[in-house]
Structure 1
Amino acid sequence: MPTIQIRPVTANDHAAWLPLWQAYLAFYETALDKQVHAMTWQRFLDPGEPTHAALAWQDDQAVGLVHWIYHRSNWSIENSCYLQDLFVDQRQRGGGVGRLLIEHVYAQVQAAGGTRVHWLTHETNTTAMQLYDRIAQRSGFVQYRQTLS
Structure 2
Amino acid sequence: MTVEIRALAAEDRADWEALWRANLAHFGAGAAAVEAIPAIWARLMEAERMLGWLVRLEGRPAGLAHVVLRQHTFSPRDVAILEDLWIAGFARRRGLGEAVIAHLRSEGAARGWRRIEWETDADNLAAQALYDRLAEAVAVRRYQIDLD
The SS at the match of 2:43 is helix
List gaps (5 residues or longer) in structure 1.
Answer: none
Please state if 1:131 is matched with 2:130: yes
Deviation beyond 2 Å, 4+ runs, structure 1: 31-35
Partner Cα separation in structure 1 for residue 136 and residue 31 of structure 2: 30
Corresponding residue for 1:101?
100
Q: Residues 32, 99 of structure 1: CA spacing in aligned structure 2 closer, same or farther, 3 A cutoff?
A: farther
Q: Residues 32, 142 of structure 1: CA spacing in aligned structure 2 closer, same or farther, 3 A cutoff?
A: farther
Partner Cα separation in structure 2 for residue 10 and residue 81 of structure 1: 20
Corresponding residue for 1:71?
70
Partner Cα separation in structure 2 for residue 20 and residue 102 of structure 1: 18
- Alpha-carbon offset, residue 76 of structure 1: 2.1
Corresponding residue for 2:141?
142
Read off the aligned partner of 1:69 and give its amino acid letter.
V
- Alpha-carbon offset, residue 71 of structure 1: 0.9
- TM-score normalised by the chain length of structure 1: 0.93
1:118-145 residue CA offsets vs partner (Å, 9 max, x unmatched): 0011011100110000111111112111
The SS at the match of 2:90 is helix
1:29-71 residue CA offsets vs partner (Å, 9 max, x unmatched): 1134344110110111114x21110011123311010000111
The SS at the match of 1:83 is strand
For the aligned residues, what is the CA RMSD? 1.3
Corresponding residue for 1:18?
17
List gaps (5 residues or longer) in structure 2.
Answer: none
Query: Higher strand proportion, which one?
Result: 2
Contact kept in structure 1, 2:57 and 2:91, CA below 8 Å: no
**How many residues end up aligned between the 2 structures?**
147
Please state if 1:61 is matched with 2:60: yes
Determine what percentage of the aligned residue pairs are the same residue: 29
- Alpha-carbon offset, residue 27 of structure 1: 1.9
The SS at the match of 1:72 is strand
